[in-house]
Amino acid sequence: MSYSTDTIYALSSGSLPAGVAIIRISGPSSLDALRSLAGDELPPPRQVGLKTIRGRNGDVIDQALVLQFPSPHSFTGEDCVELQVHGSRAVVAAIFALLETMPGLRPADAGEFSRRAFDNGKMDLVEVEGLADLLQAETEMQRRLAVEQSSGHLSALYDGWANQLTRCRALIEAELDFADEDDVPDSVAGQVWAAVRSLEGELARHLADGQGAEIIRDGFKVALLGAPNVGKSSLMNALSGREVAIVTEIAGTTRDVLSVDLDIDGYLVTLFDTAGLRDATDIVEQEGIKRAERTADQADLVLYLTDIDSDAEHLVAKLHAHSLLVRTKADLASHLPGPGDLLISAKTGLGLDALKSAIKTAIDQRVGIAGSLMPARSRHKKRLEETLDYVRDALNSEGMELAIRSEYLRLAATSLGRITGRVDVEELLGVIFSEFCIGK
């Protein structure tokens, strides 16, 4: 498939029907297609014009706002056209039927507009992935993280590190090749290896921040654990604001792990309801308890729930750094426990805000005070780990030939280049662009 000679089109707005539908056309025949639809008099580049869209027989299909973006000043880097029409299925279908008949035009594949932007140097891979994350962002923190990537700030950081490595290699080469020249210092070792040592620290800190980015992007996992009938399912329903889990007075109602996504202060939080922990004889309930324990092991935070009037000593032994003891059914309390306990009532809503604040505090502790420039994907993390390993190899090979140490720095720069797509990433492109919807 050619990404440079075909002209592609697709619906780039939301599902129909809608108030407005945006149809995007990109490629060498896009301006000709616009003239066929709206007449020869087109608005100036990047200015909106109101045009009548007509069929082959001159019948009016719709009135549309049209824009043209001549190459290279467009999202894709090619000639590009956008039609803003009424969001009727019939209107869009009629326009697509016309475009289908035009030579050289075909429907776009998923992510093909973004792929062309990458091929034409309008975006690098980090920016493309950031755009994909921005389209899928559900919380404020996900949006912020995606904007930093799609805006090119993260790419600029990686390019800056690659340029530092290139400069260090150039100084090493100067010492190797021109050591007898008067204008070359006798030794560049001091400034080169000081710079590399500083870069090692920056890379290590950046990788450490990646855990926070993973939580922001993929969600903070919270598991509800406790004996049967302590109110785990009721709490899940209360926090989500809907009936996610079945609630009865029969012990052991929840057999499998249920989950629901919450937005707590801009963070995505995935809450897991689990089977009640007890000595069960039923084989299905036993399997549910095993799944509950596995869920707790994989969670970022475990909430151990117990009735407000129950003895919680047997649970205290299970508490660890990533767990909280929560006393439920506070509305039925015969007495109030100590001031340090977290009290809630799923029935009345008592303590739910305090519980959300406690979860937010746990997230802040995990995310830390990391800046917004964080590696958000496992692919980035893997390449950064490679880069850091090569940098450390160069630092730890003191006493070896400079050419060998320089090669370690070259490999480190290559790993950084693979993050942004500047080096050898063809096999990744199909996977990355498949994440996009048609029309983007």
Tens of pLDDT, residues 163-221: 899 888 888 877 766 555 555 454 556 788 899 999 999 999 999 888 888 888 889 99
* pLDDT at position 217: 87
For the structural domain made of 130-215+377-433, what CATH number should be given?
A: 1.20.120.430
* pLDDT at position 68: 96
* pLDDT at position 284: 78
* pLDDT at position 403: 85
* pLDDT at position 229: 84
Query: Start-end ranges of CATH 1.20.120.430 in the chain?
Result: 130-215+377-433
The string over 30-45, giving b where at least 16 C-beta atoms fall within 10 Å of a residue's C-beta and e elsewhere, is bbbbbebbbeeebbee
Beta strand 7-11 with 18-26 is antiparallel
H/E stretch holding 61 reads: strand 60-69
Give CA–CA dist 353/345, Å, rounded. 11
* pLDDT at position 16: 93
Q: What is the pLDDT along the chain (440 residues), one digit of tens a residue?
A: 344 689 999 999 988 999 999 999 999 999 999 999 999 899 999 999 999 999 988 899 999 999 999 999 999 999 999 999 999 999 999 999 999 999 999 999 999 999 999 999 999 999 999 999 998 899 999 998 899 889 899 999 999 999 899 888 888 877 766 555 555 454 556 788 899 999 999 999 999 888 888 888 889 999 999 888 888 888 989 998 888 766 666 655 566 788 899 999 999 999 999 887 777 767 777 788 888 888 888 899 999 988 876 665 555 555 666 888 888 888 777 666 555 578 888 888 888 999 999 999 999 888 875 456 788 788 999 999 999 999 999 999 888 888 888 899 999 999 999 999 877 555 556 655 666 677 77
Is residue 148 within 8 A of residue 127, CB to CB? The reply is no
**Is the domain defined by 219-367 classed in CATH 3.40.50.300?**
yes
* pLDDT at position 314: 57
Query: Start-end ranges of CATH 3.40.50.300 in the chain?
Result: 219-367
Residue 117, CA distances (Å) to 130, 161, 398 in order:
14, 24, 43
Query: Closest by alpha carbon to 362, among 316, 299, 318?
Result: 299
* pLDDT at position 312: 59
Give CA–CA dist 95/414, Å, rounded. 46
Query: Start-end ranges of CATH 3.30.1360.120 in the chain?
Result: 7-122
- Map tokens 């400034």 to a residue: 191
Mention the CATH class of domain 7-122.
alpha beta
